[in-house]
Amino acid sequence: MRSPHRAIAVVFVLHGAVAGSLATRIPWIQDRLDLSPGVLGLALLCPSAGAFVGMPTASRVAHRIGERRATRLLIAAWCAAVALPALAPAPAFLFGAMLLFGAAAGMSDVVMNAHAVSVERHLGRPIMSGLHGLWCVGSLVAGGAGILAAHAGLDARLHLGLVAAVLVAAGVPAGRGLLDVRPDPGAPAPRRFALPTRAVLAIGVVGFCAMFAEGASTDWTAVYLTEVAGAGPGLAAAGYTVFVACMAGTRLLGDRLVRRLGPVRVVRCAGVVAVIGGATVTASRAPWPAVGGFALLGVGVATVVPLVFTAAGSAGATPGEGVAGVATITYLSGLTAPAVTGWTAGALSYPAAFAMITCVVAVMTVSAGALAPRGGATARPPAEPAEHAGSALP
């Protein structure tokens, strides 16, 4: 696998496949350990806690051993970690497994996005949106396989163990094709805990808003369609699928839009679409208009987080530091959005909660200027134009 674009694309697919695989087997783990909803909720918070601890140190790991080696090792650790929760014999062990799973998730997320920034610079064209679209594809395909395994009654220890082995093996050839990016001689090591700079914080605000709308919609689409729009169970589930599919499809096409319009105009236009979608959801009292609103929300927020990672990779002292700072902010947003949405819906109403989300994406729209390219990071001429020129796909 000689193309670094193809190699990093496989890494993103593998990362998404791990997330999609575990998500489908959480009910099996709950039944096996006889977990109450409260204990399961605590267990599901552990990956976020592990990620918060691991992410700020990821750029230092990449500095010490190089981006390629760090990406190879951490994506392998992330793929292997998917088997740990199913092997836990008791809740205390599950908490530990989920902490390790989250740390591997956060660190691999940071280094692969930082390496994607390096590949963008190498190619001289945007690729980040497409990579995040492939992450969605990997998650959806692996999730579908997990649903089949659960339906067949396959033991999750066997299922996730096989998934781990296959994904680790698939990552070996991809790792060989990654760029060998090393810090300049004499360059200082990144800080052990990379707190966001002012520039990265401004970029993070855009990412926070996009991830807030994405996280809230992911968890509350089906509930909103059921409780407010009067949809049946099938249509409510289909509404969530439409939202995710619109996100994935838009991300796969997003790099072409970025090349034509630039990141700031893309986010502003996307923000307008998201605001229209949120307003449509808020005003809808019938299923199909609400589904259309969620589709527009999915289209509107799809490209924003990938562009936030690209901008942060150029704004930080190193790509890893910038990505780590923004990743911490977006993880925080994804963690808090479902809860804040639920609290607002309980205190006021579901439409009021999505009116709040509409205001959040409006803030994202007016803050898009923070994503303006700095120093032409993605405008460098490609190092190997004969091999890569004109290719929009991995």
Residues 134 and 222 occupy one common structural domain: no
Residue 196: its pLDDT value, please? 67
Q: SS3 sequence, 168-202?
A: HHHHHHHHHCCCCCCCCCCCCCCCCCCCCCHHHHH
Residues 224 and 306 occupy one common structural domain: yes
How many domains are there within the chain? 2
pLDDT in tens, 267-290: 999 999 999 999 999 999 999 999
pLDDT at 53 over 50: yes
Mean per-residue pLDDT for 187-214?
79
Residues 274 and 136 occupy one common structural domain: no
Residues 137 and 280 occupy one common structural domain: no
Residue 107 lies in a domain: yes
pLDDT at 353 over 80: yes
Residue 388: its pLDDT value, please? 35
Q: pTM value?
A: 0.81
Residues 174 and 202 occupy one common structural domain: no
CA angle 163, 168, 172 (to 5 degrees): 145
Residue 187 lies in a domain: no
**Residue that terminates a domain, selected from 124, 148, 178:** 178
Provide the pLDDT confidence category of residue 37 given band limits of 50, 70 and 90.
confident
Residue 380 lies in a domain: no
Residue 346 lies in a domain: yes
Residue 170 lies in a domain: yes
pLDDT in tens, 224-243: 998 899 888 788 878 888 88
Rounded to whole angstroms, the Cα distance separating 15 from 302 reads: 18
Residues 225 and 82 occupy one common structural domain: no
Q: Which of these, 167, 161, 169, 17, lies nearest to 83 by C-alpha position?
A: 161
Residues 152 and 20 occupy one common structural domain: yes
Residue 324: its pLDDT value, please? 79
Q: State the sign of the Cα–Cα–Cα–Cα dihedral 233, 235, 240, 241.
A: positive
Residue 193 lies in a domain: no
CATH number for the domain spanning 58: value is 1.20.1250.20
Higher-pLDDT residue of 340, 390: 340
Residues 97 and 237 occupy one common structural domain: no
Residues 231 and 321 occupy one common structural domain: yes
Among the ranges 17-21, 167-171, 312-316, 376-380, which has the highest mean pLDDT value?
167-171
Residues 216 and 157 occupy one common structural domain: no
Residues 129 and 228 occupy one common structural domain: no
pLDDT in tens, 288-336: 999 999 999 999 999 999 999 888 877 766 677 778 788 888 878 887 8
Residue 376 lies in a domain: no
Mean per-residue pLDDT for 343-358?
93
Residues 229 and 366 occupy one common structural domain: yes
Mean per-residue pLDDT for 334-350?
87
Residue 192 lies in a domain: no
Q: Give the residue numbers spanning the domain of 279.
A: 198-371
Rounded to whole angstroms, the Cα distance separating 98 from 239 reads: 29
Residue 191: its pLDDT value, please? 61
pLDDT at 19 over 90: no
